[in-house]
Amino acid sequence: MGAPRERENMAEKTYEAIVIGGGPGGYPAAIRLAQLGVKTLCVEKEHWGGVCLNWGCIPSKALIAASGLAHRIEHAQHMGITVQGLKVDVPKMQEWKDGIVKKLTGGVQQLIKGNGGELMLGTAKLVSKDTVEVTTPDGKKERIKATKAIVVATGTQIIRIPGFEPDGKQVITAKEAVSLQEAPKRMVIIGGGIIGMELGMVYQKLGTEVTVVEMMDQILPGVDKDVLKVVEKAFTKGHNPATVLTKAKAVGLEKSKKGVQVTVEVAGEAKVLECDTVLVCVGFKPNSKDLGLESLGVKLDDRGHILVNERLETNVKGVYAVGDVRGMPYLAHKATKEGEIAAEVIAEHKGALLDVIAMPSAIFTEPEIATVGLTEIEAEKQGKKVHIGKFPFSVLGRAMAVDSTEGFIKVLTDPEHDHKVLGVTIVGPEAADLISEAALAMEMHAFAHDVALTVHPHPTLGEGVMEAFKVAIGEAVHVVQRKKK
Protein backbone atom coordinates (compact mmCIF):
# COMPACT_ATOMS: atom_id res chain seq x y z
CA MET A 1 0.00 0.00 0.00
CA GLY A 2 3.02 2.30 0.48
CA ALA A 3 3.96 2.78 -3.18
CA PRO A 4 0.55 4.04 -4.47
CA ARG A 5 0.32 6.54 -1.58
CA GLU A 6 3.82 7.80 -2.46
CA ARG A 7 2.85 8.33 -6.13
CA GLU A 8 -0.32 10.14 -5.05
CA ASN A 9 1.66 12.54 -2.86
CA MET A 10 4.14 13.17 -5.67
CA ALA A 11 1.26 14.19 -7.95
CA GLU A 12 0.00 16.84 -5.51
CA LYS A 13 2.53 19.52 -6.36
CA THR A 14 2.03 23.03 -5.07
CA TYR A 15 3.26 26.34 -6.44
CA GLU A 16 2.40 29.92 -5.63
CA ALA A 17 1.60 30.70 -9.27
CA ILE A 18 0.84 28.63 -12.36
CA VAL A 19 1.08 30.15 -15.84
CA ILE A 20 -0.82 28.35 -18.59
CA GLY A 21 0.92 29.02 -21.89
CA GLY A 22 4.58 29.58 -22.78
CA GLY A 23 4.12 32.19 -25.52
CA PRO A 24 5.00 35.91 -25.51
CA GLY A 25 2.47 36.56 -22.75
CA GLY A 26 3.03 33.50 -20.62
CA TYR A 27 6.79 33.11 -20.53
CA PRO A 28 7.47 36.77 -19.52
CA ALA A 29 4.84 36.37 -16.78
CA ALA A 30 6.62 33.27 -15.51
CA ILE A 31 10.04 34.94 -15.67
CA ARG A 32 8.88 38.08 -13.88
CA LEU A 33 7.05 36.08 -11.21
CA ALA A 34 10.19 34.06 -10.53
CA GLN A 35 12.29 37.25 -10.43
CA LEU A 36 9.94 38.62 -7.78
CA GLY A 37 10.38 35.54 -5.61
CA VAL A 38 7.12 33.79 -6.48
CA LYS A 39 7.42 30.00 -6.83
CA THR A 40 6.14 29.53 -10.39
CA LEU A 41 5.32 26.75 -12.85
CA CYS A 42 4.81 27.49 -16.55
CA VAL A 43 2.81 24.88 -18.50
CA GLU A 44 3.05 24.84 -22.30
CA LYS A 45 0.88 22.66 -24.52
CA GLU A 46 3.07 22.35 -27.59
CA HIS A 47 5.85 24.82 -28.43
CA TRP A 48 7.80 27.09 -26.09
CA GLY A 49 7.58 30.62 -27.42
CA GLY A 50 4.06 30.10 -28.75
CA VAL A 51 2.86 31.08 -32.20
CA CYS A 52 5.10 34.15 -32.28
CA LEU A 53 8.44 32.38 -32.04
CA ASN A 54 7.52 29.15 -33.83
CA TRP A 55 5.53 30.12 -36.92
CA GLY A 56 4.41 33.71 -36.48
CA CYS A 57 6.40 36.86 -35.81
CA ILE A 58 9.96 35.55 -35.93
CA PRO A 59 9.88 33.00 -38.78
CA SER A 60 7.87 35.29 -41.04
CA LYS A 61 10.19 38.24 -40.44
CA ALA A 62 13.21 36.07 -41.15
CA LEU A 63 11.69 35.07 -44.49
CA ILE A 64 10.69 38.66 -45.20
CA ALA A 65 14.30 39.73 -44.64
CA ALA A 66 15.76 36.92 -46.78
CA SER A 67 13.35 37.33 -49.69
CA GLY A 68 13.72 41.11 -49.52
CA LEU A 69 17.52 40.82 -49.69
CA ALA A 70 17.32 38.55 -52.75
CA HIS A 71 14.89 40.96 -54.41
CA ARG A 72 17.09 44.00 -53.78
CA ILE A 73 20.18 42.25 -55.11
CA GLU A 74 18.32 41.12 -58.22
CA HIS A 75 17.09 44.65 -58.95
CA ALA A 76 20.13 46.74 -57.97
CA GLN A 77 21.42 47.51 -61.48
CA HIS A 78 20.54 51.21 -61.12
CA MET A 79 22.95 51.36 -58.15
CA GLY A 80 25.75 49.93 -60.25
CA ILE A 81 25.37 46.42 -58.87
CA THR A 82 24.80 43.66 -61.38
CA VAL A 83 24.66 40.06 -60.21
CA GLN A 84 24.60 37.19 -62.66
CA GLY A 85 23.33 33.76 -61.76
CA LEU A 86 21.54 34.76 -58.55
CA LYS A 87 20.03 31.63 -57.00
CA VAL A 88 17.65 31.38 -54.08
CA ASP A 89 17.99 28.10 -52.21
CA VAL A 90 14.64 27.91 -50.41
CA PRO A 91 15.46 24.78 -48.34
CA LYS A 92 18.67 26.49 -47.17
CA MET A 93 16.67 29.62 -46.35
CA GLN A 94 14.28 27.51 -44.29
CA GLU A 95 17.20 25.85 -42.53
CA TRP A 96 18.55 29.30 -41.58
CA LYS A 97 15.12 30.37 -40.35
CA ASP A 98 14.69 27.18 -38.33
CA GLY A 99 18.02 27.82 -36.65
CA ILE A 100 16.77 31.20 -35.43
CA VAL A 101 13.57 29.63 -34.12
CA LYS A 102 15.45 26.87 -32.33
CA LYS A 103 17.79 29.35 -30.69
CA LEU A 104 14.96 31.59 -29.47
CA THR A 105 12.62 28.84 -28.24
CA GLY A 106 15.48 27.19 -26.40
CA GLY A 107 16.29 30.57 -24.92
CA VAL A 108 12.78 30.89 -23.52
CA GLN A 109 13.18 27.69 -21.53
CA GLN A 110 16.60 28.73 -20.26
CA LEU A 111 15.30 32.15 -19.21
CA ILE A 112 12.46 30.65 -17.16
CA LYS A 113 14.78 28.13 -15.51
CA GLY A 114 17.56 30.66 -15.06
CA ASN A 115 15.26 32.98 -13.14
CA GLY A 116 14.06 30.20 -10.85
CA GLY A 117 10.83 29.15 -12.57
CA GLU A 118 9.86 25.60 -13.52
CA LEU A 119 8.62 24.18 -16.83
CA MET A 120 6.11 21.51 -17.72
CA LEU A 121 4.93 20.27 -21.13
CA GLY A 122 1.25 19.37 -21.24
CA THR A 123 -2.33 20.52 -21.73
CA ALA A 124 -3.69 22.41 -18.72
CA LYS A 125 -7.26 22.82 -17.54
CA LEU A 126 -8.61 24.66 -14.52
CA VAL A 127 -10.55 22.34 -12.23
CA SER A 128 -10.98 24.99 -9.54
CA LYS A 129 -9.84 28.57 -9.02
CA ASP A 130 -6.62 27.32 -7.42
CA THR A 131 -6.03 23.95 -9.12
CA VAL A 132 -4.90 22.99 -12.60
CA GLU A 133 -5.05 19.53 -14.15
CA VAL A 134 -2.26 18.87 -16.65
CA THR A 135 -2.40 16.09 -19.21
CA THR A 136 1.16 15.28 -20.23
CA PRO A 137 2.14 14.16 -23.77
CA ASP A 138 2.11 10.52 -22.61
CA GLY A 139 -1.52 10.84 -21.49
CA LYS A 140 -0.92 10.99 -17.73
CA LYS A 141 -2.93 13.47 -15.66
CA GLU A 142 -1.56 15.46 -12.77
CA ARG A 143 -3.25 18.00 -10.51
CA ILE A 144 -1.23 21.00 -9.39
CA LYS A 145 -2.24 23.62 -6.86
CA ALA A 146 -1.57 27.38 -6.99
CA THR A 147 -1.72 29.16 -3.64
CA LYS A 148 -1.66 32.69 -5.10
CA ALA A 149 -2.72 32.83 -8.73
CA ILE A 150 -3.30 31.16 -12.08
CA VAL A 151 -2.43 33.13 -15.22
CA VAL A 152 -4.13 32.12 -18.47
CA ALA A 153 -1.95 32.99 -21.48
CA THR A 154 -3.20 30.52 -24.08
CA GLY A 155 -3.22 32.86 -27.10
CA THR A 156 -5.27 32.29 -30.22
CA GLN A 157 -5.81 29.76 -32.98
CA ILE A 158 -6.39 30.02 -36.71
CA ILE A 159 -9.98 30.47 -37.90
CA ARG A 160 -10.87 27.76 -40.38
CA ILE A 161 -13.30 28.23 -43.29
CA PRO A 162 -15.66 25.32 -44.06
CA GLY A 163 -14.69 23.88 -47.42
CA PHE A 164 -11.17 25.31 -47.22
CA GLU A 165 -9.75 23.02 -44.54
CA PRO A 166 -5.94 22.90 -44.72
CA ASP A 167 -4.25 19.70 -45.89
CA GLY A 168 -0.72 21.02 -45.38
CA LYS A 169 0.11 20.77 -49.08
CA GLN A 170 -2.32 22.36 -51.52
CA VAL A 171 -4.33 24.25 -48.89
CA ILE A 172 -2.21 25.73 -46.15
CA THR A 173 -2.23 28.22 -43.29
CA ALA A 174 0.48 30.59 -42.09
CA LYS A 175 1.90 27.73 -40.05
CA GLU A 176 2.81 25.79 -43.19
CA ALA A 177 3.54 28.90 -45.27
CA VAL A 178 6.62 29.76 -43.22
CA SER A 179 8.07 26.29 -43.85
CA LEU A 180 7.53 25.67 -47.58
CA GLN A 181 10.54 24.01 -49.19
CA GLU A 182 9.92 25.67 -52.54
CA ALA A 183 8.11 28.75 -53.78
CA PRO A 184 4.83 27.80 -55.52
CA LYS A 185 4.40 28.97 -59.09
CA ARG A 186 0.92 30.33 -58.33
CA MET A 187 -0.62 31.13 -54.96
CA VAL A 188 -4.10 32.34 -54.03
CA ILE A 189 -4.30 34.01 -50.65
CA ILE A 190 -7.71 34.13 -49.01
CA GLY A 191 -7.62 37.13 -46.71
CA GLY A 192 -5.73 40.34 -47.40
CA GLY A 193 -5.00 41.21 -43.79
CA ILE A 194 -1.61 41.54 -42.14
CA ILE A 195 -0.51 37.91 -42.35
CA GLY A 196 -1.79 37.42 -45.88
CA MET A 197 0.00 40.52 -47.13
CA GLU A 198 3.27 39.87 -45.30
CA LEU A 199 3.55 36.29 -46.53
CA GLY A 200 2.18 37.21 -49.94
CA MET A 201 5.04 39.64 -50.42
CA VAL A 202 7.58 37.01 -49.32
CA TYR A 203 6.53 34.62 -52.05
CA GLN A 204 6.00 37.38 -54.58
CA LYS A 205 9.70 38.29 -54.15
CA LEU A 206 10.61 34.62 -54.58
CA GLY A 207 8.86 34.58 -57.95
CA THR A 208 5.39 33.31 -57.09
CA GLU A 209 2.40 34.63 -59.01
CA VAL A 210 0.21 35.91 -56.15
CA THR A 211 -3.52 36.68 -56.09
CA VAL A 212 -5.16 38.05 -52.94
CA VAL A 213 -8.89 37.60 -52.30
CA GLU A 214 -10.27 40.03 -49.70
CA MET A 215 -13.92 40.39 -48.62
CA MET A 216 -13.57 44.02 -47.52
CA ASP A 217 -13.26 47.00 -49.86
CA GLN A 218 -9.48 47.16 -49.35
CA ILE A 219 -6.56 44.97 -48.40
CA LEU A 220 -5.19 45.67 -44.90
CA PRO A 221 -8.63 46.73 -43.60
CA GLY A 222 -8.48 49.68 -41.24
CA VAL A 223 -5.25 51.12 -42.64
CA ASP A 224 -5.42 54.76 -43.78
CA LYS A 225 -6.09 55.07 -47.51
CA ASP A 226 -3.02 57.20 -48.21
CA VAL A 227 -0.84 54.66 -46.40
CA LEU A 228 -2.46 51.81 -48.27
CA LYS A 229 -1.74 53.44 -51.64
CA VAL A 230 1.99 53.20 -51.01
CA VAL A 231 1.93 49.51 -50.11
CA GLU A 232 -0.61 48.53 -52.76
CA LYS A 233 1.47 50.25 -55.44
CA ALA A 234 4.55 48.26 -54.43
CA PHE A 235 2.51 45.04 -54.42
CA THR A 236 0.61 45.45 -57.68
CA LYS A 237 2.77 47.74 -59.84
CA GLY A 238 6.36 46.69 -59.15
CA HIS A 239 8.39 43.65 -60.18
CA ASN A 240 6.27 40.49 -60.51
CA PRO A 241 3.02 42.42 -59.84
CA ALA A 242 0.37 40.70 -57.74
CA THR A 243 -3.39 40.72 -58.32
CA VAL A 244 -5.76 42.04 -55.65
CA LEU A 245 -9.48 41.24 -55.66
CA THR A 246 -11.46 43.25 -53.09
CA LYS A 247 -15.14 42.87 -52.18
CA ALA A 248 -14.53 39.27 -53.17
CA LYS A 249 -15.56 36.05 -51.46
CA ALA A 250 -14.03 32.60 -51.90
CA VAL A 251 -16.97 30.21 -52.23
CA GLY A 252 -15.52 26.97 -53.54
CA LEU A 253 -12.40 24.90 -53.90
CA GLU A 254 -11.55 21.93 -56.07
CA LYS A 255 -8.27 20.04 -55.82
CA SER A 256 -6.60 17.84 -58.42
CA LYS A 257 -3.13 16.51 -59.19
CA LYS A 258 -2.59 19.47 -61.53
CA GLY A 259 -3.41 22.10 -58.92
CA VAL A 260 -6.29 23.89 -57.23
CA GLN A 261 -9.26 25.80 -58.57
CA VAL A 262 -10.70 28.48 -56.30
CA THR A 263 -14.11 29.88 -57.14
CA VAL A 264 -14.53 33.51 -56.13
CA GLU A 265 -17.58 35.77 -56.22
CA VAL A 266 -16.71 39.29 -57.34
CA ALA A 267 -19.48 41.85 -57.91
CA GLY A 268 -22.03 39.06 -58.14
CA GLU A 269 -20.10 37.12 -60.76
CA ALA A 270 -18.21 33.85 -60.31
CA LYS A 271 -14.52 33.81 -61.19
CA VAL A 272 -12.28 30.73 -61.17
CA LEU A 273 -8.67 31.16 -60.05
CA GLU A 274 -6.11 28.51 -60.99
CA CYS A 275 -3.21 27.98 -58.60
CA ASP A 276 -0.86 25.45 -57.02
CA THR A 277 -1.29 26.53 -53.41
CA VAL A 278 -4.07 28.21 -51.44
CA LEU A 279 -3.03 30.13 -48.34
CA VAL A 280 -5.94 30.73 -45.94
CA CYS A 281 -5.38 33.79 -43.73
CA VAL A 282 -8.76 34.95 -42.43
CA GLY A 283 -7.83 35.63 -38.83
CA PHE A 284 -7.63 34.14 -35.36
CA LYS A 285 -9.89 33.35 -32.44
CA PRO A 286 -9.03 33.08 -28.72
CA ASN A 287 -8.00 29.76 -27.17
CA SER A 288 -10.47 29.96 -24.31
CA LYS A 289 -12.46 26.76 -24.82
CA ASP A 290 -11.83 23.56 -22.88
CA LEU A 291 -9.89 25.39 -20.18
CA GLY A 292 -12.54 24.97 -17.51
CA LEU A 293 -13.30 28.70 -17.49
CA GLU A 294 -17.06 28.33 -17.91
CA SER A 295 -17.40 25.94 -14.98
CA LEU A 296 -15.60 28.46 -12.76
CA GLY A 297 -17.86 31.28 -13.93
CA VAL A 298 -15.06 33.26 -15.60
CA LYS A 299 -16.67 35.90 -17.81
CA LEU A 300 -15.95 36.00 -21.55
CA ASP A 301 -17.00 38.41 -24.28
CA ASP A 302 -19.10 37.33 -27.26
CA ARG A 303 -15.97 36.30 -29.20
CA GLY A 304 -14.56 34.19 -26.37
CA HIS A 305 -11.97 36.64 -25.01
CA ILE A 306 -11.45 36.53 -21.25
CA LEU A 307 -12.62 39.73 -19.58
CA VAL A 308 -10.19 41.32 -17.12
CA ASN A 309 -9.77 44.56 -15.16
CA GLU A 310 -6.81 46.96 -15.17
CA ARG A 311 -4.96 44.49 -12.92
CA LEU A 312 -5.55 41.77 -15.54
CA GLU A 313 -7.62 39.79 -13.05
CA THR A 314 -10.84 38.08 -14.11
CA ASN A 315 -14.07 38.23 -12.13
CA VAL A 316 -12.84 35.09 -10.32
CA LYS A 317 -10.32 36.15 -7.70
CA GLY A 318 -6.87 34.69 -8.27
CA VAL A 319 -7.43 33.92 -11.97
CA TYR A 320 -5.70 36.26 -14.43
CA ALA A 321 -5.51 36.46 -18.23
CA VAL A 322 -2.93 38.11 -20.52
CA GLY A 323 -2.19 38.38 -24.22
CA ASP A 324 -4.36 37.51 -27.20
CA VAL A 325 -6.76 35.33 -25.21
CA ARG A 326 -7.86 38.38 -23.24
CA GLY A 327 -8.55 40.60 -26.24
CA MET A 328 -7.39 42.54 -29.25
CA PRO A 329 -5.17 43.86 -30.65
CA TYR A 330 -3.29 40.61 -31.16
CA LEU A 331 0.27 41.83 -30.61
CA ALA A 332 3.18 39.93 -29.10
CA HIS A 333 4.59 43.02 -27.38
CA LYS A 334 1.19 43.77 -25.87
CA ALA A 335 1.08 40.21 -24.50
CA THR A 336 4.57 40.57 -23.02
CA LYS A 337 3.70 43.83 -21.29
CA GLU A 338 0.53 42.32 -19.86
CA GLY A 339 2.39 39.22 -18.68
CA GLU A 340 4.87 41.38 -16.79
CA ILE A 341 2.11 43.52 -15.26
CA ALA A 342 0.09 40.49 -14.15
CA ALA A 343 3.21 39.06 -12.50
CA GLU A 344 3.82 42.30 -10.62
CA VAL A 345 0.20 42.45 -9.48
CA ILE A 346 0.38 38.86 -8.19
CA ALA A 347 3.66 39.59 -6.41
CA GLU A 348 2.02 42.68 -4.87
CA HIS A 349 4.47 44.99 -6.60
CA LYS A 350 3.58 48.57 -5.69
CA GLY A 351 1.48 50.44 -8.25
CA ALA A 352 1.22 47.56 -10.73
CA LEU A 353 -1.66 47.94 -13.20
CA LEU A 354 -2.28 48.17 -16.94
CA ASP A 355 -1.84 51.88 -17.70
CA VAL A 356 -0.22 51.82 -21.14
CA ILE A 357 -0.89 55.06 -23.01
CA ALA A 358 0.71 54.19 -26.32
CA MET A 359 0.57 50.70 -27.83
CA PRO A 360 2.44 50.69 -31.15
CA SER A 361 1.76 48.25 -33.94
CA ALA A 362 3.66 47.30 -37.08
CA ILE A 363 2.97 45.59 -40.38
CA PHE A 364 6.03 44.14 -42.12
CA THR A 365 4.95 44.65 -45.70
CA GLU A 366 7.19 46.33 -48.28
CA PRO A 367 7.35 49.12 -47.33
CA GLU A 368 6.60 48.68 -43.64
CA ILE A 369 3.68 50.32 -41.84
CA ALA A 370 3.75 51.34 -38.18
CA THR A 371 1.31 53.30 -36.03
CA VAL A 372 0.90 54.50 -32.47
CA GLY A 373 -1.95 56.51 -31.00
CA LEU A 374 -4.67 57.87 -33.26
CA THR A 375 -4.66 57.42 -37.01
CA GLU A 376 -6.20 60.08 -39.22
CA ILE A 377 -9.26 57.85 -39.77
CA GLU A 378 -9.77 57.42 -36.02
CA ALA A 379 -9.35 61.14 -35.37
CA GLU A 380 -12.01 61.92 -37.97
CA LYS A 381 -14.42 59.38 -36.45
CA GLN A 382 -13.91 60.93 -33.01
CA GLY A 383 -14.48 64.42 -34.40
CA LYS A 384 -11.09 65.60 -33.15
CA LYS A 385 -9.54 68.75 -34.52
CA VAL A 386 -5.93 67.92 -35.37
CA HIS A 387 -2.92 69.42 -37.06
CA ILE A 388 -1.15 67.05 -39.44
CA GLY A 389 2.55 67.11 -40.16
CA LYS A 390 3.59 64.97 -43.10
CA PHE A 391 7.15 64.42 -44.29
CA PRO A 392 7.97 62.27 -47.34
CA PHE A 393 10.90 59.87 -47.39
CA SER A 394 11.53 60.98 -50.99
CA VAL A 395 13.26 64.17 -49.76
CA LEU A 396 15.17 62.55 -46.92
CA GLY A 397 18.89 62.16 -47.64
CA ARG A 398 19.32 58.87 -45.79
CA ALA A 399 16.30 57.31 -47.55
CA MET A 400 17.85 58.23 -50.89
CA ALA A 401 21.21 56.83 -49.84
CA VAL A 402 19.68 53.45 -48.94
CA ASP A 403 17.50 53.50 -52.08
CA SER A 404 14.20 53.36 -50.18
CA THR A 405 12.23 56.55 -50.73
CA GLU A 406 8.63 55.35 -50.87
CA GLY A 407 6.25 56.51 -48.14
CA PHE A 408 6.05 59.17 -45.49
CA ILE A 409 5.81 60.00 -41.79
CA LYS A 410 2.53 61.54 -40.63
CA VAL A 411 2.01 63.01 -37.17
CA LEU A 412 -1.19 64.20 -35.54
CA THR A 413 -1.12 66.91 -32.89
CA ASP A 414 -3.75 68.67 -30.80
CA PRO A 415 -3.74 72.39 -31.73
CA GLU A 416 -5.98 73.24 -28.77
CA HIS A 417 -3.53 71.80 -26.24
CA ASP A 418 -0.11 73.11 -27.32
CA HIS A 419 0.21 70.50 -30.05
CA LYS A 420 0.23 67.49 -27.74
CA VAL A 421 1.12 64.35 -29.69
CA LEU A 422 -2.03 62.38 -30.56
CA GLY A 423 -0.65 59.81 -32.99
CA VAL A 424 1.98 58.92 -35.54
CA THR A 425 1.73 56.78 -38.67
CA ILE A 426 4.74 55.77 -40.73
CA VAL A 427 4.83 53.95 -44.04
CA GLY A 428 8.31 53.48 -45.39
CA PRO A 429 11.74 52.03 -44.64
CA GLU A 430 12.28 50.75 -41.09
CA ALA A 431 8.87 52.06 -39.99
CA ALA A 432 8.61 49.38 -37.29
CA ASP A 433 11.81 50.65 -35.66
CA LEU A 434 11.10 54.35 -36.14
CA ILE A 435 7.72 54.17 -34.37
CA SER A 436 9.35 53.56 -30.98
CA GLU A 437 10.35 57.21 -30.67
CA ALA A 438 6.75 58.23 -31.24
CA ALA A 439 5.54 55.69 -28.67
CA LEU A 440 7.95 57.11 -26.11
CA ALA A 441 6.78 60.64 -26.90
CA MET A 442 3.17 59.68 -26.29
CA GLU A 443 3.96 57.68 -23.15
CA MET A 444 5.71 60.76 -21.75
CA HIS A 445 2.81 63.07 -22.76
CA ALA A 446 5.14 64.96 -25.09
CA PHE A 447 4.25 67.86 -27.34
CA ALA A 448 5.25 68.39 -30.96
CA HIS A 449 7.88 70.93 -29.90
CA ASP A 450 9.57 68.32 -27.67
CA VAL A 451 10.32 66.11 -30.66
CA ALA A 452 10.92 68.94 -33.13
CA LEU A 453 13.49 70.58 -30.85
CA THR A 454 15.34 67.33 -30.18
CA VAL A 455 18.49 67.15 -32.31
CA HIS A 456 18.49 64.02 -34.48
CA PRO A 457 21.71 62.72 -36.06
CA HIS A 458 22.24 63.26 -39.78
CA PRO A 459 21.88 61.49 -42.10
CA THR A 460 19.32 59.10 -40.59
CA LEU A 461 15.80 57.92 -41.22
CA GLY A 462 14.93 59.14 -37.72
CA GLU A 463 15.37 62.73 -38.92
CA GLY A 464 12.10 62.24 -40.76
CA VAL A 465 10.23 61.96 -37.46
CA MET A 466 11.67 65.28 -36.31
CA GLU A 467 10.87 66.87 -39.66
CA ALA A 468 7.25 65.68 -39.59
CA PHE A 469 6.74 67.30 -36.19
CA LYS A 470 8.30 70.51 -37.52
CA VAL A 471 5.79 70.46 -40.35
CA ALA A 472 2.97 70.10 -37.81
CA ILE A 473 4.03 73.28 -35.99
CA GLY A 474 4.94 75.24 -39.13
CA GLU A 475 8.72 75.23 -38.65
CA ALA A 476 9.88 72.89 -41.42
CA VAL A 477 13.02 73.84 -43.32
CA HIS A 478 13.35 70.84 -45.64
CA VAL A 479 9.95 71.06 -47.30
CA VAL A 480 8.07 74.10 -48.56
CA GLN A 481 5.06 74.91 -46.39
CA ARG A 482 2.23 77.17 -47.37
CA LYS A 483 1.65 80.01 -44.96
CA LYS A 484 -1.53 79.63 -43.00
CA LYS A 485 -4.04 82.39 -43.52
Strands (E), 246-306: 248-255, 260-266, 269-275, 277-280, 284-286
Neighbours of 98 (CB within 10 A): 14
- Is 458 annotated in the active site? yes
Integer angstrom CA distances of residue 450 from 185, 279, 370, 470: 51, 45, 21, 10
Query: Which residue among 75, 449, 458, 478 is the active-site one?
Result: 458
Q: Which residues pair with 248 in a beta bridge?
A: 266
Alpha helices in 125-193 (DSSP H): 174-177
Pairing of strands 260-266, 248-255: antiparallel
Question: How far, in Å, CA of 21 to CA of 108, rounded?
Answer: 12
Query: Using omega within 30 degrees of 0 as the cis cutoff, is the peptide bond preceding 459 cis?
Result: yes
For the CA atoms of 452, 455, 459, 464, what is the dihedral angle to 10 degrees?
-20
Task: Judge whether 435 and 370 are in contact, CB under 8 Å.
Answer: yes
Question: How far, in Å, CA of 368 to CA of 425, rounded?
Answer: 11
Neighbours of 350 (CB within 10 A): 5
Choose among 408, 424, 71: nearest CA to 228.
Answer: 408
Question: How far, in Å, CA of 112 to CA of 84, rounded?
Answer: 48
Residues annotated catalytic, as ranges = 458
